[in-house]
Structure 1
């Protein structure tokens, strides 16, 4: 073990953050360029873009949970998380290179349709990101003690990752998305291959669970994600419709899924958290419920901001549209890069992580309503994106620290995978359900109205999460 890791020096926290930074950069490229390149280069419509984005959450549902379970229980290449970081990083770099060449890949395979190839590339890209994202986050919990040091680990993760995210959107805004994609492929390979060899993982994780409950099967997984059942039911239903080609003119399934989700969320919120147990199942469920609403709003913005801008700024061409989107996410990421370690962590020490996160989520809900009112102006859009960055900085840092202290440390990979379901199931809902609504509604400000309501609900649920140590 290197001396910097023994001392938990700041330099170690920065190196510890680099694998997550690689995957974050790959995700930034995907957010900035995927919808743009599919609509402008390949001519897909809004509904088809939503289908391509649906491939990623499907990969996340399988990838994060499976990799989490496996990485908790294996040891090779002198690591538990390291092998998956290396494999996922290489795959992510290769898929980024394929992204602007979907037509070439399609023709070389002798295929006539671009949609299937686009889904395959997006699925492999997101699967590779998910293969690595779980271990890059779990390894922080593995090598840091509970409390302030772990909070520091996750806030520094976002600060370093966010700084590179700023670089990503700056490249896209100045030189365009094609330069961003090729630069991103090289950076992802470097940051996912080299840093893991400077981190020494513990060969044995603390066994703080009851041996009686060693088995963790499908039933146990489903009970742990009970607040997400409504999302899961609707996602299965909507995906079945897409695969079968069945068209419906009613919204009974959406209404039923919404009622089920709200009922389970209310039940979860009203439950009392357990204390003095290795796994605070109710506390973990509350975090899932609160985080899921956050991601409904955030993902709606990520996927369909291009539709909002095309509607509100009809005079811009495709190149301008790409640069406005890149600049918007540049501003968002600039705030998110510096807030976690420099602002959120010091405040969290004073008033608690949950309370800080709740305030940040509430500010994001207000900011989304401001986009609806003033988003037609580029300057106003960039200013509001800066305000949204406050909430975004918290979403991708503090919930990991909050969640990690409500679960068994020896099963961190598993629970990190289950926690990711509060991200990918809402993402799939956005792609399959929200995308359908957005494509049928003339006024695309609906995009940010949905985002605002979702973040407001998230803030309400976060008020019922109990502060940890």
Structure 2
């Protein structure tokens, strides 16, 4: 007999999702400032995407396995997903703290690899936890609350180096040395990451498996049997998952382009700064982080509005996602045309609308379309549609496409990102399953 899941209050959902604050501190710092670290250590602009390659490659392998293992884990005290939260937090904290102390490109790329893999060990079980704990009527609400927390984390973390500079922490350093403002920011991020995930672990209880005998039998099948099950689930994934996969491909290709190129593109095009040892460049890079924080802030506000709305009314998930992605695409394209730096706040506000939707609506649609007993492994498999576009982009996809379609100037990467988000928006038209698209 299926478990009857009671509806949870806002604060109960907040507590079980609070660890995402730390996860997003990690993602925002790596997305906003790893390219700055790479440039400081001597990387050429066109080489930056390749330095990101290890992270998504690892995610392609790690996330389905972590999802499968978390589906088949249970302890009366530690639960199902929480052990993965904890071990992911430990390794993420270490990697985040050490990343800005890298003295060579291979060290920074290695730190990014460990950081991204470790964050993903925690992240996918967090997605599965929402589906584990909430009835279908609260799924959109639950994922939107996660997005609210993610928006808070993005905004604060993206502004940390700028804030450190305002407190008097040095924002420049000798050639090949990462400024102290960035080191302090990553250190604070490491502390927040670990403590916020620990808060969720201490404040959240999990449901036990519905049928313990069946659960134990499946659990004892062995690791290689588990790998074959992952492959089987990939080959038999629901149609909705495949359709969402195309939307995700274009969406995450666009955001990988932003994370890789926003700093070099905007510091050069808007601020005219290219010397990584100069005050002008480092101040401009801080400003880029500040503008990137805008998309986190707006995603937080947008998620707050959605949280209120979805707690009371039903929504058309597909239409909402489609319009949100279209707004983000226009935001990226506008970056190319603006004349004043302050207008970046407008551009990234539109991007923030897309970001809030990307972090909630696809997961809400997916969670209504898969077997709840396999929620972890399907969330892990679904993450393939996040990492595959990043791999394609890192292996030369970004460099090839932006130069082919728009020209050599690095600011053209933002035109590419905008085009990709518009394609993602239109791809939603392929999703026709009403159970997935409507609350």
Task: Please indicate the TM-score interval, normalised by the length of the shorter structure.
Answer: 0.7 to 0.9
The answer for the alignment partner of 1:326 in structure 2 is 289
The answer for the alignment partner of 2:316 in structure 1 is 352
Q: Any conservation in 2 of the 1:177–1:322 contact (CA below 8 Å)?
A: no
- Distance in 2, Cα, partners of 1:323 & 1:172: 6
Deviation at 1:6, TM superposition (A): 6.0
Pairwise mapping of residues 9-408 of structure 1 onto structure 2 (< 5 A)?
Answer: 9-40=9-40, 42-76=41-75, 77-103=77-103, 114-147=104-137, 149-175=138-164, 176-205=181-210, 216-217=228-229, 219-224=231-236, 281-313=238-270, 315-316=272-273, 317-343=280-306, 346=309, 349-374=313-338, 376-408=339-371
The answer for the alignment partner of 2:222 in structure 1 is none
Q: Any conservation in 1 of the 2:37–2:108 contact (CA below 8 Å)?
A: no
Q: Any conservation in 2 of the 1:307–1:444 contact (CA below 8 Å)?
A: yes
Residue range with higher mean Cα deviation, 345-354 or 27-36 = 345-354
> SS at 1:43's partner residue?
coil
- Distance in 2, Cα, partners of 1:73 & 1:347: 31
Q: 1:55-87, CA deviations, whole angstroms, 9 ceiling, x for partnerless residues?
A: 110121111111001110112352110001000
Q: 1:460 to 1:205 in 2, by over 3 A?
A: farther
> SS at 2:117's partner residue?
helix
Q: Any conservation in 1 of the 2:130–2:142 contact (CA below 8 Å)?
A: yes
- Distance in 1, Cα, partners of 2:308 & 2:260: 30
Residue range with higher mean Cα deviation, 457-466 or 421-430 = 457-466
Deviation at 1:310, TM superposition (A): 3.6
Deviation at 1:191, TM superposition (A): 0.9
Unpaired segments of 5 or more residues in structure 2? 165-180, 219-224, 274-279
- Distance in 2, Cα, partners of 1:95 & 1:192: 16
Q: Any conservation in 1 of the 2:398–2:413 contact (CA below 8 Å)?
A: no
- Distance in 2, Cα, partners of 1:401 & 1:345: 16
Q: Any conservation in 2 of the 1:163–1:333 contact (CA below 8 Å)?
A: yes
Q: 1:312 to 1:186 in 2, by over 3 A?
A: same
Q: 1:428-451, CA deviations, whole angstroms, 9 ceiling, x for partnerless residues?
A: 111112343368953123201211
Deviation at 1:315, TM superposition (A): 3.1
Q: Any conservation in 2 of the 1:28–1:169 contact (CA below 8 Å)?
A: yes
> SS at 2:52's partner residue?
helix
Deviation at 1:217, TM superposition (A): 3.4
Residue 429 of structure 1: which of 392, 399, 417 is its match?
A: 392
TM-score by length of 1: 0.79
- Distance in 1, Cα, partners of 2:403 & 2:340: 23
Q: Any conservation in 2 of the 1:17–1:160 contact (CA below 8 Å)?
A: yes
Q: 1:73 to 1:190 in 2, by over 3 A?
A: same
> SS at 1:463's partner residue?
helix
- Distance in 2, Cα, partners of 1:151 & 1:434: 33
Deviation at 1:188, TM superposition (A): 0.7
Q: 1:310-368, CA deviations, whole angstroms, 9 ceiling, x for partnerless residues?
A: 43135332212321211111111100012123136627935411111111111112222
- Distance in 2, Cα, partners of 1:336 & 1:314: 26
Aligned length: 395
